[in-house]
Structure 1
Amino acid sequence: MSAAPVPAPALPDERLAAGAARLATRHAGRFAAETVQRLLADSYRRLAATAQVTTHLVVLAERFTAERLDALAHDRGAPGAGLPRVLFVCSHNAGRSQLAAALLRHRAAGRVAVSSAGTHPGPGVAPHITQVLIEAGADPAGAFPKPLTDEVVRAADIVITMGCGDACPVVSGRRYLDWPVDDPEGAPPAVVRRIRDDIDRRITDLLAGLPGT
């Protein structure tokens, strides 16, 4: 007699059901609906643990889950398949890693899959980070701090820490870099712009070494 299927957990917010359905449809044939629901519930709880404002938490949880599902799908695929994937990591995912992710996304123009995460994510992206990105022509819209998860690390071809001493899970076959970048927290605008430009120069070198970019 076969075992009964394990039911999916109750979602912590009833509004998440629509998001779970959308994600399950997008990944039909890859992941069971119950798997999507479990990951969405976990994403919501992780974000809620550090959120100071919960107005958009349902939307952010769906975005975070979409990124995690894409990473899982990539990790299950053929090694080296698809776009090169770069993950930026810093403590709060509110400053340096957000600058680097937005700048690389802007410069690569769809030729690189870019993610960022924090070992201790903060409540939101710092306003001065958003401002200097807009000045550089990069789009900071939709950026929010996310916790570091195993599937995102496993999907990355390159994992870059931002000089803040953060430890990442080590997965064989990935390239690990550390960029010793100054912390923009509390810095005056001129210093934040200098940090942005330092990161941008490093991205120029990174892009020169990536296949297909």
Structure 2
Amino acid sequence: MSNHNGRPDHRVAFVCVQNAGRSQMAAAFAARELDRRNAGDRVEIVTGGTRPADRVHGVVVEAMREVDIDLGGRTPREVTPEELRAVDLVVTMGCSASDVCPATWNGESRDWGLDDPHERPIEDVRAIRDEIEGRVGALFDELLSEPADAE
């Protein structure tokens, strides 16, 4: 359930510097969780980078295709301070939230401390991908177990 003003219960941003690897994988797994759990009205997902790359890393696209998610058409984007101010939780991938969040932001942030998959062998990227998938699933378990009117 969304709360009374029509906004989702949770707004989550997955952020890293380039928005070309870890945060793209996290956002894609989050979208899949929203579908699987029929929770599109409860959680809103934002993803972006502070200095976005030109394209999603090829090795990341390859690793995600193996789990039937196509990131080939995604373009890394810049996340704005306004977007970050509007979310409840910022999840950074291995860069501190202080590098990402506006100084005035006082919401929750978590850093998952994941290795950057860029220019890593596919075996390493698969391990990072699987770690992200598990963490996203656990995050959704946590978010969706909270009562809708917990604010």
TM-score range, shorter chain: 0.7 to 0.9
Structure 2 letter corresponding to 1:155:
A
Structure holding more helix per residue: 1
> Which of 19, 22, 28 is 1:93 aligned to?
19
Aligned residues: 135
Give the letter for the 1:99 counterpart. Answer: M
- Structure 2 residue 33 is the aligned partner of structure 1 residue 116: no
CA-based RMSD: 2.2
Residues 83 and 140 (structure 1), Cα distance of their counterparts in 2 relative to 1, 3 Å cut: farther
Code of the residue aligned with 1:123 in structure 2: it is D
Q: Which runs of 4 or more aligned residues in structure 1 lie more than 3 Å from their structure 2 counterparts after TM superposition?
A: none
Higher share in strand = 2
Q: How does 1:155-194 map to 2 (within 5 A)?
A: 155-165=86-96, 166-169=99-102, 170-172=104-106, 174-194=107-127
**Alpha-carbon distance in structure 2 between the residues aligned to 1:147 and 1:153:** 11
Q: Secondary structure at the match of 1:87?
A: strand
Cα distance in structure 1, aligned partners of 2:110 and 2:34: 19
Is the partner of 2:143 in helix, strand or coil? Answer: coil
User: Structure 2-normalised TM-score?
Assistant: 0.79
Q: Deviations over 1:140-177 (max 9, x none)?
A: 254211112022112212111111233312523x2211
Q: Percent identity?
A: 39
Indicate yes or no: 2:62 matched with 1:131: yes
Which digits, 9 at most, give the CA deviation of each residue in 1:154-204, with x for residues without a partner?
2212111111233312523x2211111011011001110000001111112
Q: Which has the higher contact order (CA 8 A, sep 6+)?
A: 2
Whether the 8 Å CA contact 2:81–2:101 is kept in 1: the answer is no
Q: Is the 8 A contact 2:10 2:143 kept in 1?
A: yes
* Aligned partner of residue 160 in structure 1, secondary structure: strand
1:98 Cα deviation after fit? 0.6
Q: Which has the larger radius of gyration?
A: 1
What is the CA–CA distance in structure 2 between the aligned matches of 1:193 and 1:137, rounded to whole Å? 13
| Unmatched tracts of structure 1, length 5 or more | 1-76
TM-score, length-normalised on structure 1? 0.57
